[in-house]
């Protein structure tokens, strides 16, 4: 790393010109021991007095701008903006708050019912984590899962979710729903952890949940990070008796070749295809193809994000029986989900059947 000082700067826009010239100059090859080496640079620019009144602040802000240049794919320059520091500071604050939250278990698991349309019943629930943030209230995973992944905090967090979800569903099984399944999302980091199989086995033993009622959801991209190792791990998990779903299917790297070899049971059609399935011919074709692919490979198929009766009708007509989405219910806190399940059991009796499935 180098600091370049431009003490004689006429106008502040000249700093950008100099940065551009430096990048150009570095593009030329460097002759080295009979070979030619190429380097690029990422440059961050901070200007006195606007971006800092002392050397330390200027260097810190130039550094933030340089990181931004690296994020933008390197080989470019970025001028410092206050927002850069704000976002870096925010990320750090989020990380330390998340660390405390994981230690203190300030999370909740919500459950989204999954319906088997033909049998007209709830066959399972998907566990979806929420963070009970002291100031900001209940936070959705999109606000923190990314940071949890990068920092590795997803490993203890995910394990906690697994335990909480299995224990809860075991309890519901005892309340008249003996076959209820639970889907738990497993991140790439968890899947790659050396002890993932032992941990799943331990949780099943501790909670008393029979393995055939646990479904682990992994995404295509996490499976593809290290396909050979993933295949081996999934085989071991399946040997425990649990089932495996590919989540968000269709938006990652779907190597059909690996799909054939991955020991999975279910494809979950990503909600981006379901959203416009009744209005967009391409999405309709993709959803139809995924359903057909699943059937050919003898896999179960679940549609995510079903919000309307029209979507339900389309998917059902193509042979997709299992669905989850706001049409039936969003993710619910445990007590509300318990009430939903109870109502559903009630509705199973021929008299009150239509009350929980608006699409029926």
List contacts with Mg ion (CB under 5 A): 185, 217, 247-248, 304
CB 14, min distance to ligand C2E, A: 46
- Nearer to ligand C2E (CB atom), residue 61 or residue 185: 185
CB atoms within 10 A of CB 241: 13
Number of residues that bind ligand C2E (CB under 6 A): 25
- Nearer to ligand C2E (CB atom), residue 61 or residue 311: 311
Among 228, 215, 227, residue whose Cα is nearest residue 185: 215
Q: Which does 158 bind (CB under 5 to 8 A by kind): ligand C2E, Mg ion, none?
A: ligand C2E
- Nearer to ligand C2E (CB atom), residue 217 or residue 220: 217
The Cα–Cα gap between 61 and 66 comes to: 9
The Cα–Cα gap between 128 and 142 comes to: 11
Q: Which does 102 bind (CB under 5 to 8 A by kind): ligand C2E, Mg ion, none?
A: none
CB 167, min distance to ligand C2E, A: 14
CB 248, min distance to ligand C2E, A: 5
Rg for the chain (alpha carbons), in Å?
26
Question: Of residues 19-78, which lie at the interface with ligand C2E (CB under 6 A)?
Answer: none
Name the segment binding ligand C2E (CB under 6 A); options: 95-103, 137-145, 254-262, 315-323: 137-145
Positions of E strands within the chain = 30-32, 35-37, 42-45, 76-79, 107-116, 121-133, 137-139, 181-185, 214-219, 243-249, 266-269, 300-304, 322-324
User: Please, what is the angle between helix 309-317 and helix 281-296, to 10°?
Assistant: 40
- Nearer to Mg ion (CB atom), residue 220 or residue 248: 248
CA 200 from centroid of its chain's CA atoms: 20
- Nearer to ligand C2E (CB atom), residue 63 or residue 248: 248
**Burial (CB count <10 Å: 0-12, 13-18, 19+), residue 176:** exposed
User: Which of residues 74, 136, 205, 326 is near ligand C2E by CB under 6 A?
Assistant: 326
Among 200, 115, 217, residue whose Cα is nearest residue 166: 200
User: Please, what is the angle between helix 227-240 and helix 196-207, to 10°?
Assistant: 20
The Cα–Cα gap between 356 and 108 comes to: 25
CB 304, min distance to Mg ion, A: 5
* x/- map, 155-194, ligand C2E, by CB under 6 A: ---x--x-----------------------x-x-------
- Nearer to ligand C2E (CB atom), residue 143 or residue 236: 143
User: Which of residues 129, 193, 214, 267 is near ligand C2E by CB under 6 A?
Assistant: 129
Adjacent-strand bridge partners of 125: 113, 182
Q: CB under 8 Å to 176, separation ≥6 — which residues? A: 345
Q: CB under 8 Å to 130, separation ≥6 — which residues? A: 107, 108, 109, 110, 138, 139, 140, 141
CB 143, min distance to Mg ion, A: 17
- Nearer to ligand C2E (CB atom), residue 45 or residue 274: 274
The Cα–Cα gap between 137 and 133 comes to: 5
* x/- map, 239-258, ligand C2E, by CB under 6 A: --------xx----------
- Nearer to ligand C2E (CB atom), residue 44 or residue 325: 325
CB 73, min distance to ligand C2E, A: 26
CB 161, min distance to Mg ion, A: 11
Name the segment binding ligand C2E (CB under 6 A); options: 44-52, 97-105, 250-258, 322-330: 322-330
| Positions that interact with ligand C2E (CB under 6 A) | 112, 128-129, 140-142, 145, 154, 158, 161, 185, 187, 217, 247-248, 271, 304-307, 324-326, 330-331
């Amino acid at each position: 790393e180098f600091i370049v000082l431009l003490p004689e700067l006429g106008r502040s826009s000249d700093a950008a010109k100099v940065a551009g010239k430096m990048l150009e100059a570095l593009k030329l090859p460097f002759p080295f021991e009979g070979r030619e080496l190429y380097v690029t640079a990422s440059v961050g620019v901070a200007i006195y007095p606007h971006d800092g009144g002392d050397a330390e602040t200027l260097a810190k802000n130039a550094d933030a701008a340089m990181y931004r240049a690296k994020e933008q794919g390197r080989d470019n320059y970025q001028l410092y903006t206050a927002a850069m520091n704000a976002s870096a500071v925010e990320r750090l604050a989020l990380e330390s708050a998340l660390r405390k939250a994981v230690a203190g278990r300030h999370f909740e698991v919500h459950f989204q019912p999954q319906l088997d349309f033909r049998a007209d019943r709830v066959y399972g629930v998907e566990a979806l984590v929420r963070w009970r943030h002291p100031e900001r209230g209940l936070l959705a995973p999109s606000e923190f899962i990314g940071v949890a992944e990068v920092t590795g905090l997803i490993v203890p967090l995910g394990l906690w979710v697994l335990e909480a979800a299995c224990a809860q569903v075991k309890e519901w099984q005892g309340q008249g729903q003996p076959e209820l399944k639970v889907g738990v999302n497993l991140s790439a980091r968890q899947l790659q952890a050396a002890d993932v199989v032992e941990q799943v086995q331990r949780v099943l033993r501790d909670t008393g949940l029979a393995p055939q009622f646990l479904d682990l959801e992994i995404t295509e991209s996490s499976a593809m990070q290290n396909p050979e190792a993933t295949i081996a791990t999934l085989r071991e998990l399946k040997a425990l008796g649990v089932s495996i779903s590919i989540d968000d299917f269709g938006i990652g790297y779907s190597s059909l070749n690996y799909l054939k070899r991955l020991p999975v049971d279910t494809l979950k059609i990503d909600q981006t295809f379901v959203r416009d399935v009744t209005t967009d011919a391409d999405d309709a074709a993709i959803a139809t193809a995924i359903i057909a692919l699943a059937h050919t490979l003898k896999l179960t198929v679940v549609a995510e994000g079903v919000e309307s009766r029209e979507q339900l009708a389309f998917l059902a007509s193509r042979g997709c029986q299992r669905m989850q989405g706001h049409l039936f219910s969003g993710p619910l806190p445990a007590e509300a989900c318990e009430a939903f399940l109870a109502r559903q059991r009630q509705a199973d009796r021929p008299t009150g059947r239509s009350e929980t499935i608006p699409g029926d």
